Amino acid sequence: MDPCLVYDIQVEDYINILCGLNYTRKQISVITRRIDFACEQATLDVNLPSFIVILNNTNTTSYTFKRVLTKVVDSNCVYRAVVTAPSGMKVDVKPATISFLNKSSSTKFSSTVDIDLGLRPQSDYIDNYGYLGWHEENGKHIVTSPIVSAFAP
C-alpha cells in the first residue's frame, strides 16, 4: 500500500474530542492515562479522513471543516481537489490545489459544505454521501474521503 498522503492525528487531537464531548477531567485522565492536559481547544472537528454533517432542526446550513494532510513519500507533488458533492449540497475546498515539497511536509485546507434544506430528503438515517478526492497531478495517487450527511432525530 502506498498512501502518499495521510490525515495525521495526535494524542492531543483525541483529547480535544473528549473535551468537546464534555467528558470530565477525571474521565479524560482515565482514558488517556494523563493528568497534564488542557481543554483549551475543545472541538468535535478532528483531523479525520471523513466529513460528516449532522442535520437537525436548526437553521444552520453551512459547515466548515479544517483538515491537515501530511506527505509520507519523498517525491515533490501537487494535488488538486475533485469533489462529488452529496445531493442538495455544494462543497467548496480551499485551496483547490495543494503542493508538497518534501517528506513529512503538511498542508492545511478547509472544506465548506453548504446545504439546501429544500432539496434534501427528510430521513433519519445516513442516506446522502459524496466524496472529496485529492488527485495527484502527473501521478498515480488519489486520496479519497467520504462526505456524509444524516438527519438527527
Mean pLDDT of the chain: 86
Distance CA 63, CA 111 (A): 8
Give the closest residue to 9 by CA, choosing from 39, 65, 47. Answer: 47
CATH numbers and ranges of domains, the chain: 45-151 (2.60.40.2310)
Q: For residue range 46-80, what is the model confidence (pLDDT) as tens digits?
A: 898 999 887 776 656 788 999 999 998 888 889 99
C-alpha cell at 56: 437537525
d(CA 114, CA 87): 11
**More confident of the two residues 59 and 91:** 91
pLDDT band at 1 (very low <50, low <70, confident <90, very high): low
Return the C-alpha torsion angle 139, 140, 141, 142, nearest 10.
100
**Dihedral over alpha carbons 81, 82, 87, 91 (to 10 degrees):** 20
Choose between 130 and 117: higher pLDDT. 130
Question: pTM, whole model, 2 decimals?
Answer: 0.82
Cell of residue 84, nine digits: 462529488
